[in-house]
Chains A and B, each alone.
Chain A
């Protein structure tokens, strides 16, 4: 089973609006990462947030982490058509195994 679960499964917004995606996980983690995948392509690392951090920014991306609720959110501000992709959260530390476990992803569509 997946460690992370993204919500919503699909999101469609107008260009210029903000997009928020959420991720919940089940066990304690060392860090949480977000990746983007354009259709049929490889995943691209976006941002990493460590368990002792609450918020992190990178360009138009803002990630928050609430370890008490075991949840994270990814905010993309001023969305562009090029942001259309699937977004995955990934966690480590699950069961002590040193690998990333990915959620099912959120499919984001930006309408022009």
Chain B
């Protein structure tokens, strides 16, 4: 157990639907990162939050949004889902916003859009 908790582990939903993925960072970590992993695109950075504030944004689609709450857990919202959104979604956390501290990853949410 890495200390980063992601729920749910698996999610199957239909095209056009909306889902919410949840992440609880490791205790004491202030930074949360979301990554999407697919076979053809590899690990793609989506977005980073640090202590409740958005810190960096990657190739995140407009249909996707995220937030970090006062208790530091984070949610990634995916809407108007398409088949191509099927992927593993990882959350990672770190103590600081500086990547030099290394990331601790959760076990991921496997999203299947049918």
Distance in angstroms between the alpha carbons of A92 and B101 in the assembled complex: 11
Distance in angstroms between the alpha carbons of A2 and B102 in the assembled complex: 18
Distance in angstroms between the alpha carbons of A102 and B46 in the assembled complex: 12
Which of B14-22, B71-79, B92-100 contacts its partner? B92-100
Q: What chain A residues lie within 8 Å of B100 (beta carbons)?
A: 30-31, 48, 50, 92
B44 to chain A, nearest CB (A): 8
Interface size of B as a range:
20 to 34
A67 to chain B, nearest CB (A): 16
| Known contacts A30-B100, A48-B100; A100/B42 CB under 8 A | no
Interface size of A as a range:
20 to 34
Which residue of the partner chain, among A42, A99, A105, contacts B45 with CB atoms under 8 Å?
A99
Q: Is B8 an interface residue (CB 8 A)?
A: no
Distance in angstroms between the alpha carbons of A45 and B29 in the assembled complex: 15
User: Which residue from chain B places its CB closest to the CB of A93 in the assembled complex?
Assistant: B99
Q: What chain A residues lie within 8 Å of B2 (beta carbons)?
A: 42, 44
A29 to chain B, nearest CB (A): 10
Q: Which residues of A contact B (CB under 8 A)?
A: 2, 30-31, 33, 35, 40-45, 48, 50, 88, 90, 92, 97-105
